[in-house]
Amino acid sequence: MLGLALALGACAREEPPTANWRTTSEPPPASLNLAPQEPEAVSRSPMAPSMQVLPPSPAPQIPAERNPCLTKWGSPRLDAPSECAGRSPRASRAVPGQGVYKIGRPYTVRGKTYVPAEDPDYEETGIASWYGDGFHGGPTANGEVYDMHRLTAAHKTLPMPSLAYVHNPANGRTIMVRINNRGPFKGNRIIDLSREAARLLDFKSRGLAEVRVTYAGQAPLDGSDHAERTYLERQTWYRQTVTLGD
C-alpha cells in the first residue's frame, strides 16, 4: 500500500502547467485581460502629391464689365450701340442753361483793358491752362452753366458762344471747344480750357501747355457740344486712343 501511494504522488508532480502560465515567446491567450501597450513612434515620411490635400483655391477675380456706352475716361465710345444715345457722360448731370450771344464791351482787369470783338482771322499761339472743380456748376459769362466734363473754354476777347480749334504742337492733337466764359487773367495765358479739354490735349497733369488757338465761328445757343464731339471723333489720334486705351 505504501508503494502505491508513493507512485501516485510522483505522477501528481508531473502534471502539465496550468492554463494561466506561458512562456515569453508565446502569444497571450485571448482570455487574458492585459493592459494595452503604448504604440511605438511612427516616423513620418513626406506624403506623396497624390495623397496631399491642398487648401481651396481663392475665387477667381471677375473683371468689371465694360461700359458699352463710355470709355474708361468717361467719353462716348465710338462703337457704342444706338441705345446709348440718351445715356451720354452728361446724362446724369444737369443740362447747362441756354446762354445768350454776347461780344461785350471793353473791360479792365488788374489794370489791363480788353476789347472783345468778332475776328474771323483770329489765330494766336500762347499758353493754355485749365479750370475745373472750383467752378463746376457755376454760371459762365454768357449765362450758361460751366461743366468741366464738356469741351469748353474761357477766352478774353472772342465772342460767346463761339467755336475755336485748339492745337497742341507737342503731340499733334487738335480739338474744338466752345468759348462761353471770360479769362484767363493770369500771366501770358491766352485760353483757359475745361478739365476734359485739357485731358484730351494731354496736359491736365502738367497744368500748362503751349497751344495754337484758331477762331472757328459762332456756336449754337442750345448749349450742345455736338459739333465739338463730332469733330473729336473724326480725329485719328482720338480713334487710336479709344481703341488702344479701352
> Using one digit for the tens of pLDDT, what is the confidence trace for 70-82?
655 555 555 566 6
Of 20-24, 223-227, 242-246, which one has max mean pLDDT?
A: 223-227
pLDDT at 54 over 80: no
- Burial category of 31 from C-beta neighbours within 10 Å (exposed 0-12, middle 13-18, buried 19 and up): exposed
Residue 175 banded pLDDT, cuts 50, 70, 90: very high
CA distance 118 to 69: 37
Instruction: Give pLDDT, residue 91.
Output: 32
CA distance 68 to 85: 11
pLDDT at 95 over 60: no
Judged by average pLDDT, the poorest of 65-74, 91-100, 102-111, 158-167 is 91-100
Question: What does pTM read for this prediction?
Answer: 0.62
Residue 214 and residue 165 in contact, taking contact as beta carbons nearer than 8 Å: yes
Q: Considering only the top CATH level, what class is 118-245?
A: mainly beta
The residue that leads in pLDDT, 4 or 182, is 182
pLDDT at 93 over 90: no
Q: Give the residue extent of every domain in the chain.
A: 118-245
Helix axes 226-233, 236-245, angle to 10 degrees: 80
Q: What rounded mean pLDDT belongs to the chain?
A: 76
Dihedral sign, Cα of residue 183, residue 184, residue 188, residue 191: negative
Judged by average pLDDT, the poorest of 66-80, 83-97, 157-171 is 83-97
Instruction: Give pLDDT, residue 161.
Output: 95
